[in-house]
């Protein structure tokens, strides 16, 4: 069951959080047109989903349950990119998860490469 949950959360982050965030970034780099409203809506959509993430992490250490999975890697990657924009006061479980994932030695080694 954890494998299915891991895939569910991997796809959630890829399609619902990373995709709109990437689209907003691409639009922000387009200097030929004004996309401010679209960028704002895309970012708001991605950030609003973190309430769902926080509820998921309320009773488990990782997105799929007790096991650290690729879903956590994908989620951690985009969450660190959005970290300054997230309303952390309302996301205590997501904050704890971010700290747990970030404390993993392999994650620290990977981050040190960039």
Q: Where are the domains of the chain?
A: 2-112
Mention the CATH class of domain 2-112.
mainly alpha
CA 53 to CA 96: how far, in whole Å? 12
Which pLDDT belongs to residue 101?
A: 98
CA 60 to CA 46: how far, in whole Å? 22
Average model confidence (pLDDT) for the chain? 89
Which pLDDT belongs to residue 95?
A: 97
Band (63; pLDDT cuts 50, 70, 90):
very high
The answer to whether 12 touches 6, Cβ cutoff 8 Å, is: no
Which pLDDT belongs to residue 20?
A: 79
Q: Is residue 58 scored above 90 in pLDDT?
A: yes
CA 16 to CA 50: how far, in whole Å? 10
CA 83 from centre of chain: 9
């Amino acid at each position: 069951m954890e494998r299915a949950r891991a895939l569910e959360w991997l796809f959630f982050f890829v399609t619902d959080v990373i995709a709109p965030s990437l689209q907003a970034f691409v639009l922000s780099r387009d200097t030929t047109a004004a996309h401010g409203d679209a960028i704002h809506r895309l970012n708001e959509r991605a950030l609003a989903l973190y309430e769902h993430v926080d509820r998921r992490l309320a009773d488990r250490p990782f997105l799929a349950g007790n096991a650290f999975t690729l879903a956590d890697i994908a989620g951690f990657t985009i969450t660190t990119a959005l970290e300054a924009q997230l309303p952390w006061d309302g996301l205590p479980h997501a904050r704890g998860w971010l700290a747990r994932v970030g404390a993993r030695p392999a994650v620290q080694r990977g981050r040190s490469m960039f």
